[in-house]
Chains A and B, each alone.
Chain A
Amino acid sequence: MAKFPLLHSAVSIMTPLLLAATGGLFTELSGMLNIALEGMMLWGAFSSIVFTHYTGSLFLGVLLALLTTMLLAAIMGSATLYLRSNIFITGLATNLLASGLTVVLSYRMFGNKGVVVFKGIKELPYLKIPPLQSIPILGDLLIGHHLFVYLSWFLLLVALFLLYHTPFGLRLRSIGDNEEVLLSLGHQPNLYRMVAFLIAGAFCAFGGATLSLSLGAFVPNMTSGKGWIALVVIFLGQRRPLGLLLAAFVFGLADAFSNYAQGAFNIPAEFILAIPYVFTLLVMIGLSAFNSRRRGS
């Protein structure tokens, strides 16, 4: 048993947020506000558990979820970049499509528009990584999590490497700052943006898979605003990979606390559900107030 249960569960709860935010960092750095993280994560949640159910393999299930979510990202990317549609509207389209399609398919496949429980799905494997345990203080928080928690940290390192230590990352970041430079060097900014969309899709698929597979069930709109929170995680993390880790932990902690509050105090469930939205809003306001003050001085 963990010594600090609240902190320990925050580390686990932040995983989908961290994954979606890391994916969203790619689109964000290429200069696009991507509000479709929510929809891509929802599709990832649905497809991963459904494919795992039908293939009987966690690996195949997640792989197919990854590919189909990237397809969704590619549709949004094509509409945005090549048809030159407004990115907020194509983002909404992606969110509405995911939200509708998951319900329509769930009804078609399981005759049920509500919660679908998959009894045959095994629990996610819990990893034992002994070296982590020997880290003082933190060690206790880092052990005893399931596969996807460690995967999210590994993928964060991959993102860090891709963005800051490869020519691809350098060019991608330069589009966000100044598109002209890249054009003048003979690169196609839209190609880089498309790759950013695909990476965002892949990360969101992992994020969604974490939600449904750790629960063993699909709940309609189970992402419940997490894609939007992930956007704010990116801003709060100052658009840097390690900043994301800290920011995601803050939100994970808030979420863990509201879970705890639900049990400890007699607060109506609706208010508990509203906490993430309100907390995210307050962080967003505080952040913009801080930034505008800094710009002003």
Chain B
Amino acid sequence: MERKIDLPLILVIILLALLAVVISVFLLSGDPLRTLHYFFLGPLKGRYYIGNFLNSMGVLIFGALGFSIAMQGGSFNLGGEGQIYGGAFVATIATFGLARLGVVAPPLALLAGALFSGLIAALSGFLKLRWGTNELITTFLISYALILVVNYLVGGPFLDPTTNLIATRKIAPQFQLAKILEPSNLSTGLIYALLAVVVVSFYLNRSRSGFELKMMGYNPQFALYSGIRVGWYTLWPMFLSGAFYGLAGGISIFGTYHATVKEFSSGMGWNALAVALIARYRPWAIVPAALFFAYLEAGSRNAMLHSDVTFEIISIVQAVIFFFITSALLKKRGGRHG
């Protein structure tokens, strides 16, 4: 069941992605060489840029773990966008009520966000189990409705009137993660993300429940005949998936933003999905994949700051990756999800 890392495929994808960057910059920029310079070297110029670039890895890792767990269990969770944002918001709000609890408060607030997003994703799992409602569509629809509701809450009842941003109040200092590479944004969030990779990898490969989850994803029919609780394993991977998306949101609040800013996480869910695809849903492979994607992300942000292209150029790169990454012809062995 374990698939080996297919190095040539990864190299082809990386090359295609870089090619997409170069071609779109030449087509879109008035000064392509300057733009490319900032795109590829910008993220590495000094500790501020390196720190910020590494910092975005943390969210990508948590989110990619989220998508991967659902995938390993045979479900599609396209709700990452809303589950990250919703989890971030719930974690933020939870800090306001939990502040008096001392050291246990930060993990509890993060768990509240994870629980919320987990339940949101599990709802799609429940609908799939009960009536066979396609989870691909329900996760997407719920996620987009959720984003709008959170937008309302952030801009209305929970708006902090003392700032110019559309954002909630700041979380108390006790909830803020320690910085590693000042003055950059890099926080201990990245370390927690790496820990999460270890935990998920252990769960999927060394525990009975993880084994059953993967069997469910590999062949539901076979799983049924082996006496695996198919109903439970329709809900559980979705719950875990949402929970990790929720953690991605919570960690980016605690580590980077310190308040839920309106639509701060826009695009994070899709980026995490790209990372999960590059890693082919394997926890360990998510780390280098996140590094690569965070680099592209930082590159396009830098190119936008110092040159004449916009940040959205990254979605062209993303699309190129998505078109090719699951191709059965590019890889030697066919996988179940393409």
Contacts and interface: CB of A to CB of B under 8 A. Distances in A.
Interface of A: 33, 35, 75-76, 79, 82-90, 92-94, 96-97, 99-101, 103-105, 107-108, 113, 225, 228, 231-232, 268, 270-271, 273-274, 277-278, 280-281, 284-285, 288-289, 291-292
A231 B138 CA distance: 12
Contact of B145 (A79, A231, A274): A274
A79 B137 CA distance: 22
A84 B144 contact: no
Contacts of A89: 277, 322, 325-326, 338
B9 interface: no
Contacts of A108: 28, 309
A97 B132 contact: no
Given A83-B324, A96-B319, A113 B310 contact: yes
A94 B318 CA distance: 10
A232 B326 contact: no
Given A84-B328, A100-B313, A270-B149, A288 B319 contact: no
A36 to B, nearest CB: 11
Given A89-B326, A90-B322, A228-B137, A103 B310 contact: yes
A89 B337 CA distance: 10
A84 B144 CA distance: 29
Interface in B301-326: 309-310, 312-316, 318-326
Interface in B226-284: 270, 273, 277
A84 B338 contact: yes
B327 A96 contact: no
Nearest to B27: A108
B148 A86 contact: no
Contacts of B322: 89-90, 92-93, 96
B310 A104 contact: yes
A101 B152 contact: no
Nearest to B335: A86
B330 interface: yes
Nearest to A39: B319
6 closest A-B pairs by CB: A100-B315, A86-B338, A93-B322, A97-B319, A270-B152, A84-B328
Contact of A270 (B151, B314, B330): B151
The listed residue with most A CB atoms (<10 A of its CB), out of B141, B149, B316, B330, is: B141
Nearest to A272: B148
Contacts of B315: 96-97, 99-101, 104
Contacts of B76: 88
A85 B338 contact: yes
Q: What is the size category of the interface that chain B forms with chain A?
A: 35 or more
B218 interface: no
A271 to B, nearest CB: 6
Contacts of A103: 310, 312
B136 interface: yes
Contacts of A225: 141, 144
The listed residue with most A CB atoms (<10 A of its CB), out of B314, B315, B324, is: B315
A113 B323 CA distance: 25
Contacts of A291: 131-132
B168 to A, nearest CB: 15
21 contacts: A33-B136, A84-B327, A84-B338, A86-B337, A92-B78, A92-B273, A93-B318, A93-B321, A97-B315, A97-B319, A100-B312, A101-B316, A104-B316, A268-B152, A268-B156, A274-B148, A277-B141, A280-B141, A288-B131, A288-B134, A289-B130
Contact of B318 (A96, A270, A285): A96
Nearest to B322: A93
Nearest to B145: A277
Contacts of B159: none
Nearest to A113: B310
B330 A83 contact: yes
B265 to A, nearest CB: 16
B142 interface: yes
B148 A271 contact: yes
Contacts of A232: 137
Given A90-B326, A278-B141, 13 more contacts: A33-B134, A76-B323, A83-B323, A88-B78, A89-B338, A96-B322, A99-B315, A100-B315, A104-B313, A105-B28, A232-B137, A284-B141, A292-B130
Given A88-B136, A225-B144, A292-B131, A79 B310 contact: no
B140 interface: yes
Given A83-B324, A89-B338, A292-B132, A100 B319 contact: yes
A155 to B, nearest CB: 25
The listed residue with most A CB atoms (<10 A of its CB), out of B130, B323, B338, is: B323
